[in-house]
Amino acid sequence: MIVIMGATGTVGRNVATTLLERGERIRVIGRSAERLQPFVALGAEAAVGNATEVAFLTEAFTQASSVFAMIPTKRDAENIRSYQNAFGEAIARALQNASVSHVVHLSSHGANQSEGTGPVKGLHDQEQRLNAIQGLNVLHLRPTYFMENFFASLPLIREHNVMAGAIQDEVPFAVIATQDIAPIAADALQKRNFVGTQIRELLGQRDITMKEVTTVFADELGLPDLSYRTVPAEEFKTALIDNGFSENGAREMLELSEAINEHRFAVEQPRTAINTTPTSIEDFAKTFATVYHG
């Protein structure tokens, strides 16, 4: 039995679906039985409850051959890092209680740093927490910046024909399509071929700039005048708060943008065939266009 946290989210859903397609027995964790029902219809077992509760998680992890563990995003948390650490502590205690042997942990590029990376700091903390569990074999997957984050620009494109953010337009950084994470996570969960603590960075197809992203999207959307604007820090923070982020959550996202601008969102491993994933920004632009028109 493989247990999947975050099955109703983007990454967890793809991991669960991939394993079901491969004929694996899986247990999916979530708060809503209704949202887990599509997996149940395909043969999954559902564990419905609050994943911040150690007793519930312990039961959900019991008899698991491997677990896909992750801390879900909560952009309106009063303190993002405190929220992540409370959630992460519950996961760690439940893994210990259930004597789980293998965990694939969804971490992030930049989690090698304890400060200066916005919401990634909490994933750094969780890596350290899981590494300290005696007898646990853990693979930390560190995907880079999600291409799906660009969906946040859809309202601006529709209303003003512009993309905007705090990332400078000509700073190159790595981006990944979340669909490329699932097969790698699924393989590790099935094979359990990692011992001790291991790290695998996933760097997408290539590094890009926001200027390049905008050009690719403009071509795919048929909007030749689409432009990108780097906005001042306070303007960016205010926009995030207006869109549901807490004050602290907005500051954390601003810090992440600053880390990208200052090349602190750093790659530990050189780009290779192993950490390079297939979906290009041109491929993703087709998905982006479908959502834009849809």
Tell me the pLDDT tens digit for each residue of 236-281. Answer: 999 999 989 999 999 999 999 999 999 888 666 788 999 999 999 9
Beta strand ranges found along 78-119 (DSSP E):
102-106
Closest CA to 182 of 267, 68, 23: 68
**pLDDT confidence of residue 260:** 95
pLDDT band of 294, cuts 50, 70, 90: confident
pTM of the model: 0.95
pLDDT, the chain, mean = 95
Helix/strand/coil percentages in the chain, nearest 5: 45, 15, 35
CA separation for the pair 148, 155 (Å, rounded): 14
Q: What is the pLDDT of residues 201-236, one digit of tens each?
A: 999 999 999 999 999 999 999 999 999 999 999 999
As a whole number of Å, the CA-based R_g of the chain is: 19
Q: What is the pLDDT of residues 14-52, one digit of tens each?
A: 999 999 999 999 999 999 999 999 999 999 999 999 999
Q: What is the DSSP letter of 65?
A: S
CA separation for the pair 197, 130 (Å, rounded): 9
Token pair, residue 98, equals: 């259930």
Q: What is the DSSP letter of 231?
A: P
Q: What is the DSSP letter of 225?
A: T
Could you identify the residue written with the tokens 């039995």?
A: 1
Q: Is the pLDDT of residue 128 over 80?
A: yes
Q: What is the pLDDT of residues 110-124, one digit of tens each?
A: 999 999 999 999 999
